[in-house]
Amino acid sequence: MSALTAGSALAVVLPLILLFGFLLHQGASAVNVDFFTRLPKPVGEAGGGMANAIVGSLILIALAGALGLPLGILGGVYLTESRDRRLPWLIRFVADVLNGVPSIVIGIFAYTVVVLPMRRFSALAGGVALAVIMLPIVLRTTEEMMRLVPASLREAALALGLPEWKVILRVVLPTARAGIITGVMVAIARVAGETAPLLFTAFGNRFWHQRLDQPIAALPLQIFAYAIAPFDDWHRQAWAGALVLIALVFLVSLAARIATRGRYSAVR
């Protein structure tokens, strides 16, 4: 029996190894300085890079963070500190529901709320879509991390005469800070790889972005576009892009993991 289950575990992990091997084999050669610094070349021409896509992804993540983090953290604070009776339960339920919504549906939502009124695709729309994806993750992690702060710490601060909001802001949140940052990193790793919601919000761009109300390139979008195109050179760049993307996501996930392991090993 142990052998069967061990075999299953191996089967779960095997695709990762195959995938990574494939990416390294095919894409490593195309990951060069050009890749990181050049714009895509016109259709049919060889060479060029994905510089705008990388920068675009970073901008989208920053936008998503700016929109989603304050809401998420404040919401997490609410869930931990509030004495309301029914609302917290509803919030948690809604957050969990939102967490399970397919990202493409969230893209549709961002489309109806941002793209339609603005009548154009934009970085802003992409940022909104990604923010909505980040929101429930940040919310739940913040709540979890704040609950880990021992009650005795709160009581000590209150006994010193601090008003409640200062206790939260100056004592509880800073104590939970490392864990919350970890949650944010997990959310970022998740959002960095999302393609579907960007298909009709950020839309993609073969050039540098100009303004936030214009379409913008993103790494996963570019990978997708190149993968389904008929040019071999584009395929190679797609693999390179995938390698860079997966390396980024893994690094952030790894960092988040290491940060949690030391302090909060009780929470797995």
Of the pair 59, 139, the CB lying nearest other proteins is at: 139
Q: How far is the CB of 132 from other proteins (least distance, A)?
A: 7
Q: 3-state class of 42 per DSSP?
A: coil
Of the pair 19, 62, the CB lying nearest other proteins is at: 19
Of the pair 150, 163, the CB lying nearest other proteins is at: 163
Q: How far is the CB of 153 from other proteins (least distance, A)?
A: 18
Of the pair 36, 78, the CB lying nearest other proteins is at: 78
Of the pair 5, 152, the CB lying nearest other proteins is at: 5
Residue 153 CA to residue 82 CA, distance in Å, equals 18
Of the pair 100, 262, the CB lying nearest other proteins is at: 100
Assess contact for 140 and 77: CB atoms under 8 A: no
Q: How far is the CB of 220 from other proteins (least distance, A)?
A: 5
Q: How far is the CB of 94 from other proteins (least distance, A)?
A: 5
**Short-list 200, 213, 220, 215, CA closest to 107:** 200
Residue 41 CA to residue 232 CA, distance in Å, equals 14
For residues 49-68, one letter each, b for 16 or more C-beta atoms within 10 angstroms of the residue's C-beta and e for the rest, the string is bbbbbbbbbebbbebbbebb
User: Alpha-carbon torsion 48, 54, 60, 66, what sign?
Assistant: negative
Q: How far is the CB of 47 from other proteins (least distance, A)?
A: 20
Residue 154 CA to residue 177 CA, distance in Å, equals 15
CA 75 to chain CA centroid, nearest Å: 18
Q: How far is the CB of 210 from other proteins (least distance, A)?
A: 20
Residue 144 CA to residue 265 CA, distance in Å, equals 13
Residue 99 CA to residue 94 CA, distance in Å, equals 8
